[in-house]
Amino acid sequence: MTYKVQLPVFEGPLDLLLYLIKKDEINISDIPIAKITNQYLEYLEVMKLLDLEIAGEFILMAATLMHIKSKMLLPLEEKEEEAEEELDPREELVKKLLEYRKFKEAADSLKDIQARQRDSFTRLPGGEKPQLEDEDSYFETSLFDLITAFSKVLKEIPKDAFHKIVEDEFTVSDKIHDIFHLLVDKPVIYFSELFKNARGKVEIVAIFLALLELVKLKEVIVKQKDSFGEIEVTRNPEWQKR
């Protein structure tokens, strides 16, 4: 199966590191570099499995993490010898992450202001306030949330399912059609539901790539109610109006 998805909203390596730090509730000033490096490399492996475009900056960050990890693992006597010449090997990375987080928080604040202005209404005649739809608080799911959920699906599939001979060829186009069919019957489907009938690794990958393609085309919206919670997939109401 050859199918490459290019996502214009693909986050960078600092986004992935901040995501991992937040997911595990890690103190950004005291990063367990060995743990973070291993998790980062696992995410890159999943991206390669999905044949996603991985920018050179992701590879460079992987090399940087591995270099820092090697320095952190030096014997105590060698660390003491280098103490006068070099500070904590993580210091530069932590500084970059803190600066980048501030930038992202500022950008998110601007988006919130724009959203509030867009959704503001003038008072109706008679002093009545407009009736707004009673919506639960959701936020759009990031690519890394999707990869996390996908990795969980892979781990939950029995190993023998990966070795079964599947006669049918699964294509991304077919899976896009299947997802649309599911959304006709149900306005909301959970991410995990997409894979419950999958018969092997090839089909699982095809389903996930189909979902990424639909996200890229803005045909569907993936959202969560809580951080790292269950991912919901719905049709994009704005796209349906076109």
Decide if pLDDT at 39 tops 90. yes
pLDDT band of residue 132 (cuts 50, 70, 90) is very low
The rounded percent of the chain whose pLDDT value lies above 70 is: 71
Scanning the structure block, which residue is given the tokens 């601007």?
110
Sheet order of strands, 188-190 included = 139-140, 220-224, 231-235, 188-190
Bigger pLDDT: 155 vs 233: 233
For the chain, the C-alpha Rg in angstroms (whole number) is 22
- Name, in order, each residue with C-beta under 8 angstroms of 125's C-beta and a sequence gap of 6 or more: none
pLDDT at residue 56, as a whole number? 82
Structural tokens at position 121: 């209404």
pLDDT at residue 112, as a whole number? 64
Decide if pLDDT at 177 tops 50. yes
Q: What are the residue ranges spanned by the domains of the chain? A: 13-117, 139-240
* CATH number, domain 139-240: 1.10.10.580
Q: What is the pLDDT of residues 49-58, one digit of tens each?
A: 887 767 788 8
Mean of pLDDT over the chain: 78
Structural tokens at position 191: 């991410």
What backbone phi and psi angles, to 5 degrees, belong to 89? -60, -20
Bigger pLDDT: 125 vs 188: 188
Decide if pLDDT at 120 tops 60. no
